[in-house]
Amino acid sequence: MWYFVSPKIVFGEDALDALEELEGSRALIVTDQTLVKLGIVEKIQSRLRNNGFDTRVFDEVEPDPSLETVQRGVQIANQYQPDWIVALGGGSPMDAAKSIWVLYEHPEMQAGEITPIVQLKMGSKAHLATIPTTSGTGSEVTWGIVLTNQAEQRKMGLGNRANLADIAIVDPALAAGMPPQLTADTGLDALTHAVEGYTCAWHNDFADGMCLVAARLVMTYLPRAVANGKDMEAREHLHNAAACAGLGFSNALVSVAHAMGHTLGATFHIPHGRAVGLVLPYTIEFCAAEAPERFVDLGKFIGCVNQDGQAGARQLAQAIRGLCQTIGEPLSLHQAGLDEKAFENALEKMIDDAFNDASMVSSSRSPGYDELRQIFRCAYYGTPVDF
């Protein structure tokens, strides 16, 4: 028994018009200050005002949002009493908004209690609309939440199927202004979702199709979008790919690359997409050593693999390294600028944190402590994994 869940998705040019069809009267927009300065928040407010909404903006969400930020957002929600929460931005505002929504509806809960094993009812006070401005996180269509416990330098994987958005508005125009580096980082996040969703132990028939299509779209259109941000065909396909990958992985799960990426992000503040994309080829090589079939299957669908078995899986890993080179992403943690001594000092804590990351439970091959230490070191020095 398992579930496939999805919000209603409005996508394509002018998808923002869907804001004028929402039923309600007060919307709290959860976002960051960059989007206020870029005038994107005003665009959303204007559409909502046209629909008779009063709006308020909570723009304090930082990258890797903390528990404290979420608490401030909950206070605003409690004062303002919105009937819609509108999450606007990349993964950070989305995840903060989902948490704020749950804690606004359930004041008896703490953020850490938003787990997939509690029974949660949502919608008695407000609905959630998600509007992505980056093409990677997929958070607009997922119920997963990642918050940062700053005191413990640890990312917390949270979420419950009930905190899925009511509507996701996937309008490519909002991604058009992303600079090349952000386009590259977030695109790798979408690719990692697709690859891990397809190859993790919790893969399933319903999620597979989403992952396959998303992976092919990213491999095809990410280099174009990085090279020319005004290529709207590439932008639109990437924006859709991120949502497809989000549906794919959130109805299966992610795996070792995300467990490693979360702890690298929490420890060294490497942007999430860059961290998971960087380690992905190494985790493919590790997992495929025992079960290469699904990696080969995915690589053949994308069109970058023509061999079977481990050789085919290694072709997929190399194709992803090739993509990273093309879009100017580092291939190793050393290239990403991590100091060797700082890396070694942090290594044992990162291993423990990676093992205690929810993403690790669905790995198709479970590493031991020594193996995970070696994978981290391979990713640091840029050495392919051969064990």
Binding site for another protein (CB under 8 A): 1-3, 110, 112-113, 115-119, 157, 201-202, 352, 355-358, 360-362, 366, 368-369
Rank residues 152 and 344 by Cβ distance to another protein and give the closer one.
152
Rank residues 102 and 323 by Cβ distance to another protein and give the closer one.
102
User: Tokens representing 212?
Assistant: 């396959």
Rank residues 52 and 112 by Cβ distance to another protein and give the closer one.
112
- The nearest distance, CB 357 to another protein, in angstroms, is 7
Rank residues 56 and 373 by Cβ distance to another protein and give the closer one.
373
Identify the CA nearest to 212 among candidates 303, 280, 135, 91.
Answer: 303
Q: Would the CA dihedral through 32, 158, 285, 269 be positive or negative? A: positive
User: Tokens representing 92?
Assistant: 């950070």
Rank residues 264 and 313 by Cβ distance to another protein and give the closer one.
264
Q: Which residues contact 288 (CB under 8 A, 6 or more apart)?
A: 295, 310, 313, 314, 316, 317
- The nearest distance, CB 31 to another protein, in angstroms, is 28
DSSP state of 38: T
Phi then psi dihedrals of residue 289, to 5 deg? -60, -25
Report how far residue 229's alpha carbon sits from residue 289's, in angstroms, rounded to the nearest whole number. 38
- The nearest distance, CB 284 to another protein, in angstroms, is 21
- The nearest distance, CB 277 to another protein, in angstroms, is 23
SS3 308: coil
- The nearest distance, CB 294 to another protein, in angstroms, is 17
- The nearest distance, CB 354 to another protein, in angstroms, is 9
Report how far residue 102's alpha carbon sits from residue 58's, in angstroms, rounded to the nearest whole number. 16
Return the bridge partners of 40, or none.
none
β-pairing verdict for 127-132 and 84-89: parallel
Rank residues 172 and 248 by Cβ distance to another protein and give the closer one.
248
Catalogue the E-assigned strands of 244-372. Answer: none
